[in-house]
Amino acid sequence: MIKGFIFDLDGVITDTAELHFQAWKKLSDDMGWDFDREVNERLRGVSRMDSIHIIKDHNAAEIPEEQLVELATRKNDIYVNSLDQITPKDYLPGAQELLTLLRQEGFSVALGSASKNSTKVLQQLDAIKFFDIIGDGNSVSKSKPAPDIFLFGAGQLGLKPEECIVYEDAEAGIDAAKAGGFHAVGIGPEERVGHADIRFDSMAEATLFEVKSHFDELF
């Protein structure tokens, strides 16, 4: 039986991808690096340090690990400053309604994000109240596609993976959910999240009604 839901943050609850893009773009411009939206797509759901490695490799730049950490920190400072502009108007369509309904129906709810800034983002959205547990980049060391972040969330909720549905927008996030034995809802195009148990183009379509209909025998 389904007792809990675990949500990714960026691309599921809100679209921080644009703010990540602007911060990486500023850093890349300062460094004389090429960085565009196509490369940014490859950073979806990927941790900060893995992200800078992808950007470095894309530019065939040779930079010692120590300096990469400094550069990632510089990007993060720009990103964190930009989070002040997020308001409760910035939920992805359907996300706030779904979280409200899950609270009303008494489901357990956890966050399972790669971001180390998730608490700040949830505060800006006024979304802390929707979550029993916040699992994020500070909670585990192995990032997606390892299932650790979702196993952490389920464990903290006192639930087994098969009792939880994970919402994810990243390819590596669906891999992580499946590796952990969770039911997976994919948000986004077929080529990215087509391997989820069920896929929707957007959160607006991924309602509790639709998900309950799909996993009918589990409710």
Please give the residue ranges that form the binding site for ligand B16 (CB under 6 A). Answer: 8-11, 20, 43-48, 51, 76, 113-117, 137, 170
Distance of CA 195 to the CA centre of its chain: 17
Residue 143 CA to residue 39 CA, distance in Å, equals 19
Catalytic residue among 8, 136, 148, 169: 8
The region, left, alpha or beta by phi > 0 then psi within -120 to 50, assigned to residue 11 is: left
Nearer to ligand B16, 47 or 108 (CB): 47
Amino acid (one-letter) located at 5: F
Residue 153's DSSP bridge partners are: none
Closest CA to 47 of 65, 29, 20, 74: 20
Distance of CA 8 to the CA centre of its chain: 3
Coil, strand, or helix at residue 75? helix
Q: Catalytic: 10?
A: yes
Coil, strand, or helix at residue 198? strand
Nearer to ligand B16, 80 or 218 (CB): 80
Q: Which stretch binds Mg ion (CB under 5 A): 1-9, 124-132, 188-196, 209-217?
A: 1-9
11 binds Mg ion (CB under 5 A): yes
| 46: partner contacted, choices ligand B16, Mg ion, none (Cβ within 5-8 A by kind) | ligand B16
**Min CB(206)–Mg ion separation in Å:** 14
Q: Catalytic: 8?
A: yes
**Min CB(14)–ligand B16 separation in Å:** 9
**Min CB(198)–Mg ion separation in Å:** 17
| 154: partner contacted, choices ligand B16, Mg ion, none (Cβ within 5-8 A by kind) | none
